[in-house]
Chain A
């Protein structure tokens, strides 16, 4: 019997709404596709910007932040890795509040990301630590309750943050 609990997509979306997020910038990711991205695509509270490559999203979210417009970049960890130079330059060097929500494709539900047997997942926390990028894990249902406050702090302090989605959100 599987006793694992999964984060609620509805709860995550509610937290984004309460945080004042207007724009969601995204490339599809199978971890967050049905629980987050499709519901967001159907939700008129958000404007969904579909990009061709994730680093576009880093720039879009950063540029929006100059007048306080709140946005979230939803992507897979492969896209995060592909965007490291933009994150380094635009989010970190320029100290801009780029909020990223990253599905960990291939991660097993039970372990923490750094304990995953999948190399591409296991290295993500270390990569973010090496870059001094703030991150937190959304794995248990209660983890989602931190999203609104975390986004608020990031915009107040003008700093980026990565939410790592460790289990597939349920609809």
Chain B
């Protein structure tokens, strides 16, 4: 079993100061509380676009690692981005999908396909050289340090359950303050 907030805390242990983190919806709201940092990219704008923002950031900032914390409903909305990323093959991109089978912040309605979709296999077939699926936090933690040494794009599907629910801060994520904060941090070097 993987609780989302506990999983994010574990991931927080391997995120370094210069890394960019792109997260969406409940994973983003949780992440902003668990690991507030200037290089959190919170403004993806339209649902499904996190992986594409991550690709743009990875290509434009090859000296940094870019982590995308995607959602299953979100990724299904932009599934073609897996092929685009597989083709572009940025070595510094780590694409994680937090799959809970629901549109959690939109009322908890089920995602088509529920928890049956094998995102890790789809990513592998789209050209990600390293693709993993975890439903146990302990098993993920045992190999996490090794996984992030792999050259990307790396994909991880995480079968998660909601943990503690952190507040929804939509006003902040869509604010110019959030974008300016990220931009300043990115260009500080």
Stretch of B3-11, B57-65, B98-106, B116-124 contacting A (4+ beta carbons < 8 Å): B57-65
Q: A60-B55, A64-B60 are in contact. Are A52 and B84 (CB under 8 A)?
A: yes
A93 in contact with B56 (CB, 8 Å): no
Please name all residues of chain B whose beta carbon is closer than 8 Å to the beta carbon of A66 when the two chains form the complex: 57, 60, 179, 182-183, 186-187
Q: Is A101 an interface residue (CB 8 A)?
A: no
Min CB gap A72→B, angstroms: 13
Min CB gap B181→A, angstroms: 11
B83 in contact with A60 (CB, 8 Å): no
Name A61's closest neighbour in chain B (CB-CB).
B56
Please name all residues of chain A whose beta carbon is closer than 8 Å to the beta carbon of B135 when the two chains form the complex: none
Min CB gap B22→A, angstroms: 8
Q: A50-B87, A86-B45 are in contact. Are A56 and B60 (CB under 8 A)?
A: no
In the complex, A60→B66 CA distance in Å?
A: 13
Q: Is B54 an interface residue (CB 8 A)?
A: yes
A52 in contact with B81 (CB, 8 Å): yes
In the complex, A53→B174 CA distance in Å?
A: 24
Q: Is B97 an interface residue (CB 8 A)?
A: no
Interchain residue pairs A-B with the least CB separation, the first 8: A52-B80, A63-B56, A89-B45, A59-B52, A60-B56, A69-B60, A90-B45, A64-B60
